[in-house]
Amino acid sequence: MIIVTAKNGNNTVTINGGGHHIKGSIAQEAGAIHSFSFTIYPNNPGYDLINSRKTTIRAVNDVTGRTEFVGRVLLPTVKMESSGLIYKTVTCESFLGYLYDSVQPYAEVETYTLNDYIDLVLSNHNAQVEAEKQITRGTVNVQTTEQGYVTKGLQYQTTFETLKTKLVDVFGGELEVVEDNGALKLNYVTEIGTTRATRIEIGRNMQAAERQVSPLSLITRVIPLGAKLKVTETDADGNNVEVETEARLTLVGYETEPGEPMTVPYLDDQSKIDAIGIVCGVLDLPDVTEQSNLYQKTLDFLQYENRLELSHNITALDLKEIDLDIDGFNCGDTYPVYNDKIGIEEPLRIVKKTIDINAPHKSALTFGVKRTTMSGYQTAQNSATEKRFEEVTKRIADTNHVIQNTATQVQTFGLTIQDTIDEAITDRFASVATKTELEELETRSSYRTTETANGLMQEFNSQINTMRTNVDGNVESLFNELKSYIRYYMDNGQPYIELGQNTSNIVAKITSTEIGFYENDLKVAYISNNQLFITDATILKQLHVGNFAFVPRQNGNLSFVKVG
């Protein structure tokens, strides 16, 4: 479970955990502002303490101790449904969002070291915001130029936009704001996270997986465009001057072989065209002024840079929650991922992670885009197909072995029946039947026994197939149906069972100390220590207290009488 607290000044209250509950999810993204959205009801002690841009929300995993989110409330919205139910939906953002609260003043372009430029930007930010929003430089390891310099200015952008457009978009890297002994630090690093050994694989902790291929990421017909062409014109004074036009340098007229000029402005990758057809794209090379260079750069693009983009969405169980793994799933970290069913067998980096605060062990993970060649992708798909074929072949062989063993047993059973019939025939008819009659009867009984054995074999195979179909088709649906009525959760390290349809507003929660009844997340009654507690009760007939009872009378009055 994720313990969530709300803090205003020195006042901190727990809004999820310790008997209080909210519903919500945390969305983490490497190098971006994290968000946290939740719903809170009036019976929660923090309901009236949620203030826009002032309240600090902290979410900590009670098992791992990891802080999954810390930031401020951005926008609380009060809602009322037609049933009269009132609640708030709250959206929060991480501390990186503080950089949107300031605007950089104008400054001429100058040359700085990267650290000096970041210090200048953060100094301007800190001069405009409150103390709790002030941020200083932390770890910086992004390489800008060989000398480590940047030549930049400032143009009235927010601090976040300044850092993104002038640094991240130019030199790459990722931004994050972290807490360091109560102070906020800005890290600008090549890549957030580290490499982990914990495997994410089918049959272990991977529940669902999706591998997507971007249909727009691969170009099979490339049209390169070089520098703008210039023409000579005569100005008003009669002088010849060069004027730049909108026309671009192309490959038309370039001789790939002597005497063989190109008549089209593009180059094809025929192997890719054979695989997926013609997909045209422009390769923009505005600094190239020679056709020979334009031709070579286009060939290099087709060979080395033109790649399929693959993305992966995976739902996995974080076994760190129950101490079955050393590492949990952290946004920005890289993990070995294996799923031979869909051709995944490589280290992948988590770039997005979505956490249900009341079921943090089940995370939705998005892995970073991978670029691969068409042949590389096809090889992975072929490998996955081969593995599936081998698995199916093995299952068929195992099934045939079982069937053969069963056939042998059925045939043995048939022979036993034959012997029994032979003995019965001999005992019953030996004194009254001729030899010819006995032989004819024996032939008929042998045929029927063989026929019976074959029938038993067919019936057995039919039953096996029926059972296999029923098991494969029904186990998952039965399990999902069970989960829709009975669920297991952890609350502050304590397990409890929730009963009731998952779409219902009314549920029961059973812990080791009480049975509670909830409506719209409000505890309306509970049983604990041999006592029933209820906030509002309507007695339809009588209320018994020991040997006495409250009994309604026919005239509308109420009597308190002894009944035993």
pLDDT digits (tens, 9 = 90+) for 241-300: 888 899 999 999 999 888 889 999 999 988 778 777 888 989 888 888 899 999 998 888
pLDDT of residue 402: 57
Give mean pLDDT, residues 131-160.
Answer: 90
Three-class DSSP labels, 231-279: EEEECCCCCEEEEEEEEECCCCCCEEECCEECCCCCEECHHHHHHHCCC
pLDDT of residue 157: 94
218-243 per-position pLDDT tens digit: 788 999 999 999 888 888 888 888 88
Most confident of 125-139, 471-485, 513-527, 548-562: 125-139
> Is the pLDDT assigned to residue 382 strictly greater than 70?
no
43-71 per-position pLDDT tens digit: 999 999 999 999 999 999 988 888 999 99
- How far is residue 141's CA from residue 125's CA, in Å, rounded to a whole number? 21
pLDDT of residue 216: 52
Give mean pLDDT, residues 2-25.
Answer: 93
- How far is residue 417's CA from residue 440's CA, in Å, rounded to a whole number? 18
pLDDT of residue 460: 47
pTM above 0.85, yes or no: no
Which residue has tokens 């694989």? Answer: 201
Three-class DSSP labels, 459-521: HHHHHHHHHHHHHHHHHHHHHHHHHCCEEEEEECCEEEEEECCCCCCEEEEECCCCEEEEECC
Q: Is 330 helix (H, G, I), strand (E, B) or coil?
A: coil
**Which residue has better confidence, 324 or 77?**
77
pLDDT of residue 62: 87
Helix 435-483, helix 374-429: angle, nearest 10: 140
Buried b (16+ CB within 10 A) or exposed e, 457-481: beeeeeeeeeeeeeeeeeeeeeeee
pLDDT of residue 5: 96
Q: Per mean pLDDT, which range of 293-297, 398-402, 557-561 is the poorest?
A: 398-402
Q: Per mean pLDDT, which range of 337-341, 419-423, 494-498 is the poorest?
A: 419-423
Nearest Cα residue to 450 out of 409, 408, 415: 415
Reading the block at residue 547, the tokens are 């040997």
- How far is residue 74's CA from residue 88's CA, in Å, rounded to a whole number? 13
Mean pLDDT estimate for the chain: 80
